Amino acid sequence: MVRRQLFRRGIRSPRVLAAFRNVPRERFVPSGERGEAYEDRALPIDCRQTISQPYIVGLMTDALLLDGTESVLEIGTGSGYQTAILAELARHVVSIERHGELSIQAAAVLTELGYGNAELIVGDGTLGWPAAAPYDRILVAAAADEMPPALFQQLREGGILVLPVGDSESQSLLKIRRINGRPEASELTACRFVPLIGAGGAGSDDSAT
């Protein structure tokens, strides 16, 4: 997976590739899907959600330019796989999930694997998590029509926010840097994520597409 799906498609950071080698993806996939854990696509998890395609997890992680000192906010814990990758590469991760059931399952796997620097919270991630703000990096794993303003407010000056923006048909994965208090955006790729549902977002349909 690391060579074919990540390295060959341009993800070259040795730290990022090492993190992918260290995290056993099969532990985050439902037992019926284990045989597919290293396939080049998203897979279904509980609550009609998905564990993202490895390449997309790699691209988002790579865009965050983590050196191990950062405090990171993740929205959409899902299976916890991306959370584990972030926990390998950053100092501390706060990850918010709206489905309590998914958060509990993810927490169990992360604890078993020894990721003591990941803090899991059940709640509405469109509002961010002001208690631990500001964050050096923010990663959003579900798509909204627009960037939720609370998330940008909780991003430190010079920090990086990666999120998918768009509707269920067409989405762009954006990298946003906070420069002089303003967002500077660039597009990483076209993508397809489940909707971000919450007070500070715009989604209304909870099904995976």
Burial per residue of 51-78, b for 16 or more beta-carbon CB atoms within 10 angstroms, e otherwise: bbbbbbbbbbbbbbebeeebbbbbbbbb
Residue 52 falls in the annotated catalytic set? yes
**By C-alpha distance, which of 58, 116, 125 is closest to 95?**
125
The yes or no reply on residue 81 touching ligand SAH (CB under 6 A) is: yes
Segment interacting with ligand SAH, rule: CB under 6 A, options 4-12, 31-39, 107-115, 118-126: 118-126
Instruction: Tally Cβ neighbours within 10 Å of residue 111.
Output: 12
* Distance, CA of 145 to CA of 80 (rounded, Å): 24
Contact code string over 126-155 relative to ligand SAH, x by CB under 6 A = x--------------xx-------------
Closest CB to ligand SAH among 96 and 191? 96
The yes or no reply on residue 125 touching ligand SAH (CB under 6 A) is: yes
* Separation in Å, CA 29 to CA 53, 145, 206: 12, 28, 20
The yes or no reply on residue 61 touching ligand SAH (CB under 6 A) is: no
Residues forming the site for ligand SAH (CB under 6 A): 49-52, 75-76, 78-79, 81-82, 96-99, 102, 124-126, 141-142, 194, 196-198, 201
